[in-house]
Amino acid sequence: MTKPLYFDALKVGDEAPKLVCGPLTRTDFVRYAGASHDFNPNHHDEVYAQKSGNKSVFGMGMLAGGYCARQLTDWLGDGVLRRLRIRFASRFWPDDVLTCTAKITGKTEQANGGLVECEFMSVNQAGEVIIRGDATAILPRS
């Protein structure tokens, strides 16, 4: 998206278009490991992960959080975020499907637009929360 949404076009309660990611594969985790330098073996080494008591490798919190950030920038625009907080609630696994949702929870008017507050979430196919978070974006007036 090139153009940000306009501050006055959004209201509290407005929701972002859903973003569905997955079914996720081990290859998705390995690609993110290489791109992000997160080489915790629990995310790419099945033997290690199982020896550590996990049923398999599991995804990086920042991969799920990155999907949420992608949803926010797709929705609100490029370069408009002022703050982003990602809280890691549960783990996710190969074959999981993550669905990201986001909604506007507050607005503060400023001279040429304003700040919008959002809450966002990522849940797996069973509805279990994987990520919770909140963000602030600055948007122009139309």
Partner 1 sequence: MDFSANGKSFPPYEFRVERGKIKEFADALGDRNPVYHDPESPAAKAAGGILAPPTLLRTFLYETRDAVEALKVEDWSYIVHGEQEFEYFAPIHAGDVLTAQDRIVSMTEKESRRAGKLQIAVIETTFHNQRGEKVQVARRTLIETGKRIAD
Give the whole-angstrom CA distance, residue 130 versus residue 142. Answer: 35
Is residue 51 a contact residue for partner 1 (CB under 8 A)?
no
Q: Which is nearer to partner 1, 10 or 135 (CB)?
A: 135
Selected range binding partner 1 among 5-13, 36-44, 95-103, 109-117, rule: CB under 8 A: 36-44
Give the whole-angstrom CA distance, residue 65 versus residue 133. Answer: 9
- Percent helix, strand and coil across the chain, each to the nearest 5: 25, 35, 40
Is residue 46 a contact residue for partner 1 (CB under 8 A)?
no
- Residue 57 corresponds to which amino acid? V
Q: How far is the CB of 102 from partner 1 (least distance, A)?
A: 13
Is residue 38 a contact residue for partner 1 (CB under 8 A)?
yes
